[in-house]
Amino acid sequence: MNNIIQEIDGLMEQTHRVKKAVESACLVCNISKTQFDKRSRLRQFIDARRMVYAFCREDLRMSWVSVGRSFGVNHATVMHHLKVHKQLIEYDAFYQRKYDAFLDLVKADIGFLDIESIIKEVRLLKQRQIEKQLLANESQDHNS
């Protein structure tokens, strides 16, 4: 019985996170929820859906089928969008900035902690601290 309750609780939490991701994408892309759900091929609508699919797959670790089922699309559609998403992140600076803003917004909204991001941030801070220390040592050597 406890397993069933835990599974239901997990599904409810996942559904809440997906809903917040949709809200964040709509805000970043300046579209409404109705426009998000619309099967329009306008770039801003597609980008919003693509960002949410990528977040669900990469950050929430949902399966292809689960993501597709959540949005009423085939899992192959989700796979296609993720492939294009990765290309856009690499080559389209505007899309990358929009996606970064979306990630910041949705992660803050759902209280999502990403251990990998925290580790990267700690490494960056340590690197900056080491660089400052090296500069301080270098200036002391010049003054001596």
**pLDDT tier at 66 (50, 70, 90 boundaries)?**
very high
Report pLDDT for 11.
65
Domain count across the chain: 2
Read off the CATH number of the domain in which 76 is found.
1.10.1750.10
Residues 124, 79 share a domain: no
DSSP element (H, E) containing 122: helix 115-143
- pTM of the full predicted structure? 0.73
Residues 49, 99 share a domain: yes
Residues 78, 36 share a domain: yes
Report pLDDT for 91.
95
Residues 62, 117 share a domain: no
Report pLDDT for 143.
72
Beta carbons of 64 and 57 less than 8 angstroms apart: yes
Tell me which residue range forms the domain holding 136: 113-144
